[in-house]
Amino acid sequence: MARLIEDPKLLELFIRYAPAAIAMLDRQMQYLLVSDRWIEDYRLENTEIIGRSHYEVFPEIPERWRQDHQDCLAGKVEVLTSKEDSFVRTDGRLEWLRWQLRPWYNLEGEIGGLLIFSEIITKRKILEQQLIAEKELAQVTLSSIGDGVITTDALGKVSYLNPVAEQLTGWSLAEATGKAIGEVFRLIDCFSRKPLVNPVDLVLKNNRVRQLPKDTLLVAHDGTEIAIEDSVAPIKDTQGNLIGTVVVFRDVTKIYELTSKLSWQATHDTLTGLSNRLHFETQVKLAIEDSQDNNTHHVIAYLDLDRFKSVNDTCGHLAGDELLKQITALLKQRIRTSDVFARLGGDEFGILFYKCNFKIAQNIAEQLRCLVRDFDFVWQDRVFKISVSIGLAAIAPTTNNLTEILSRADAACYAAKKKGRNSVHLSKAIDY
């Protein structure tokens, strides 16, 4: 119960210099005393307010407030409080404030009027609205962009995922929030299949932007693997302290598949799926360098199908293509996984026997010759007997260059054909 201070001067000093906006009014809602803060906050002149009606000074006061005043004056309520309220000033400005309303009692214990305590919070409210608008704009932006976005706190715990990140990771925001980033954002190397160090951990450790290595796969919640590119940046407060990270990443699976396809097409024969001449010659170059640097030995073989032209001329190119595919599948049975098997063009093939003894290469070549010799190619009820001529050439530390070794292998293959086909000819029979 707010009772009247007996000393009027003390009461005036108490209210006038209070560090808050206070107004003391009588039962007719006329001003008795106001604090300097009240005058300042509402931009009033003290000489113009004392003795005047509160409703005259503020004619724009809402009807609901007037009813609150009457309820307090009638003793229906002891205290009314609003933490956030607003009214429109006569000049059109929207004023935000928080207030408290309570009756004061005279020495006889009767309600003598009202005490109004208020604080203008318009600037704070405008700032809050601006911050809310900026946050909503940021949320809309993050929700609209095509990249996945994940934010974490300073401990690497997930605090936010945008819809794209939810879709790519398979985690909803509700499921992921609070979990370690490594659980939600699982990364592996696409070749070794080994887990990668999470870039968020590196950013939190080194406080600088990190990029993902190439050929990174994201393992989604359901085990689906997605090729991604991403960057991780630190989030800092206004004092420069690290408070978290932001991960921005995109799905590049289609690009990765297209690149892989183009890379494969650039190095492989589309009909047989074997390496093409360019890739074969590149691998032979590397084998020559390896032999010269490390004293290793390799062997290359040139293979030329005998009587392929007769199949092509008699039955057409479709039959010729089918023959090449069947011969490829047949020869693959005896070629080691470490070796390079290539179609060099037409009915010519090449094999790089990597780190191979010359006698072992000769033995494999003989097996290949026998496979082709015993093979019957059937096309539209016609049966064709096929054979192969094979030339072998050794790659030794003394081998000079690619042209030399390819010429020797080609000459050996020609010699095998000249001998009557269906044979293996050695360019240089060396027992390593």
Q: What CA–CA distance (Å, rounded) separates 132 from 180?
A: 28
SS3 state of residue 18: coil
| Chain-centre distance for alpha carbon 111 | 68
Q: Detail the DSSP E strand segments found in 199-256.
A: 210-211, 216-219, 225-236, 242-251
Q: Can you read off the two tokens belonging to residue 171?
A: 């985690």
**Single-letter code of the amino acid located at 145:** I
Q: What CA–CA distance (Å, rounded) separates 162 from 198?
A: 19
Catalytic residue, chosen from 36, 347, 376, 431, is 347
Pairing of strands 21-26, 94-105: unpaired
Q: What are phi and psi of 264, to 5 degrees?
A: -65, -45
Nearest-CA neighbor of 354 among 281, 424, 409, 296? 296
Asked if 339 is an active-site residue, the reply is no
Nearest-CA neighbor of 250 among 140, 143, 145? 145
Pairing of strands 80-88, 348-353: unpaired
Task: Please identify every residue annotated as catalytic.
Answer: 347
